[in-house]
Chain A
Amino acid sequence: MLELKNIDSYYGESRVIEDLSFNVPKGKIVGFIGRNGVGKSTTLKSIMGIVKTPSGQVIFNGEDITKKPVYERVKLGIGYVPQGRDIFPQMTVQENLELGLQPIGGKGNIPDYLFDLFPILPKFAKRRGGDLSGGQQQQLAIARALAAEPKILILDEPTEGIQPSIIRDIGAAIKKINEWKGITVLLVEQYLDFVLENTDMLYVMEKGKIIYQNDTKAADGAEVQRLMTE
């Protein structure tokens, strides 16, 4: 479904990712885990086209999208929830969700199942996005990324700074959208238990490189923890 081949990524002159390759199989929930600052967000930004990748390839659905601008990648069916959520704070919840329909031309309706998954959204439809709590904003950002029914959902630390009960809801929602809609998920996290609980396979990243990969079932939590902290 999504494949990175020998990707290098830069911020200005400094190279953050070097010769990175990995694969996200269709229909799976894939965890991507690593400490703060190892380059997880940069990897996702490379997939989206937000940071420049002067060498290597990003392949989506068999198509090389390395040269495409951000908005065209999104239109091909990549839904993205950035770290920090980045909802539009001045706009209402409803307008934020409608922006999620832009990949399909801003027309059509927000799928009903999203309101079942995140019942606070219809309730707060008229509120400004900036007035929601962190957990509510996270749910809004996920629903927004799903509004146009993407083929893959990319999440950057959705549990960061969020209370445990909402973390559980988000975990359940990720599994349901994968099960019900067959949407592939790439989940970047630092929170290991959340990844062990909700994914099919996982990668561990250290200093811009992948140092471990396994099926989640077969992975030894203690070993992954050790790899992450050392």
Chain B
Amino acid sequence: MEQLINTLFNGISLSSIILLTSIGLAITFGLMKVINMAHGEFLMIGAYMTFVMQQIFVKFFPESVRDIYYFAAIPFAFLVTFLLGSLLERFVISRLYGREIDSLLATYGISLILQQAARSIFGTQGVNVNAPSFLNGGITIGGCTFSYNRLFIIFMVALCLFLVWLIMYKSNFGKQMRAVMQNRTMAQCMGINSRRVDNITFSIGSGLAGIAGCSVALLGSIDSTVGQSYIVNSFMAVVLGGVGKLLGTVIGSTIIGSASIFTEHYTSSTIAKAIVLLIVIVFLQKRPQGLFVIKSRSLDE
């Protein structure tokens, strides 16, 4: 029983990281029909930026305030990946508009370049960040231990999700974004600059992957392939959840995250990946549109 709860808890925290990377994938696909193969590398960059911020604090700040580095790392990682996402959209994706295969290949190339860049800058060996001391340990309830860093990750993701919901459904920008998703031409006829909406949306999605990278940094060593290990699950979560609906992405991520942890618990990690993939394939045979669908003109075409 305790083991089950522990496994479930780990499943939820993994799901929440997957969710943070899936949101960006889902909204950019919903909006632009572009699959960004370099999305995982934004997660990697976010993780490395956490490491960089820690080095800065070790070098320039007294020991007593070093723990704060993590709170500086989160906005820093967001900002760096937001700006890189903005550049990628502006100079690559927007130029390949309507050419899905080309943008798939281009972003795949960029993902390889970013991995190589990470190896050149940070070395092939993984680097580690020290979780802030207040995140060491955990709460034990009846034999189950809930580690603070995983609890913190869940909390952070919930906060990000709430902010994304606010942007999408309560702000004027969100209204513009949903209008462009539903009918791009008509949105332009409402005076909306759809290219600007694309760019900002893509940047926000990239920034969220950067924050996911901050979470990943708390859980283990960071190397140039760290993005790849999470992105496959995120793709599956998006496919499973259906495109363009926040709720679908949340549920898709939860299923994929939990399924990975559970199968991993009873088998090995490679077999777990294969089993999850199998489940997704079987599911998509039955329901190719995913769990949820948004009726969208751009997707009907």
Which residues of A come within 8 Å of B, CB atoms?
A: 48, 50, 69-71, 74-75, 80, 82, 86, 88-91, 95, 98-100, 102-104, 106-107, 144, 148
Contacts and interface: CB of A to CB of B under 8 A. Distances in A.
Contacts of A102: 176, 190-192
A69 B192 CA distance: 10
Interface stretch (B179-187, B230-238, B269-277): B179-187
Contacts of B179: 88, 91, 99
A6 B219 CA distance: 66
B175 interface: yes
Contact of A80 (B187, B189, B194): B189
Contacts of B294: 90
27 contacts: A69-B188, A69-B193, A70-B189, A71-B188, A71-B191, A71-B192, A71-B193, A74-B189, A82-B189, A86-B183, A86-B189, A88-B182, A88-B183, A89-B182, A90-B294, A90-B295, A91-B175, A95-B175, A99-B175, A99-B187, A100-B190, A102-B190, A104-B191, A106-B175, A106-B176, A107-B172, A144-B190
Nearest to B185: A50
B183 A48 contact: no
Count chain A CB atoms within 10 A of each CB in B175, B190, B295 and give the residue with the most.
B190
A150 to B, nearest CB: 10
A135 B187 CA distance: 21
Interface of B: 172, 175-176, 178-179, 182-183, 185-194, 294-295
A88 B186 contact: yes
Contacts of B183: 86, 88
Q: Which 3 A-B pairs have the closest CB atoms?
A: A103-B191, A106-B172, A70-B188
Contacts of B185: 50, 70, 86
Nearest to A79: B189
Contacts of B189: 48, 50, 70-71, 74, 80, 82, 86
Contacts of B175: 91, 95, 98-99, 106
Contacts of B191: 71, 74-75, 102-104, 148
B178 A86 contact: no
A51 to B, nearest CB: 10
Given A88-B182, A90-B178, A91-B179, 16 more contacts: A69-B193, A70-B189, A71-B189, A71-B191, A71-B192, A80-B189, A88-B183, A89-B295, A90-B294, A90-B295, A91-B175, A91-B178, A99-B175, A99-B192, A103-B191, A106-B175
Contacts of A70: 185, 188-189
B107 to A, nearest CB: 25
A99 B179 CA distance: 8
Nearest to A85: B186
A102 B294 CA distance: 23
Nearest to A129: B182
Nearest to A103: B191
Nearest to A100: B190
A100 B182 CA distance: 15
B81 to A, nearest CB: 27
B187 to A, nearest CB: 8
Contacts of A107: 172
Contacts of A100: 190
A99 B194 CA distance: 13
A91 B186 CA distance: 13
Nearest to A104: B191
Contacts of B187: 99
Contacts of B172: 106-107
Contacts of A82: 186, 189
B208 to A, nearest CB: 23
A80 B187 CA distance: 11
A106 B190 CA distance: 10
A104 B194 CA distance: 15
B236 to A, nearest CB: 26
Contacts of B194: 71
Contacts of B190: 71, 74, 99-100, 102-103, 144
Nearest to A45: B185
A214 B179 CA distance: 39
A71 B182 CA distance: 16
A46 B175 CA distance: 26
Contact of B182 (A74, A80, A90, A104): A90
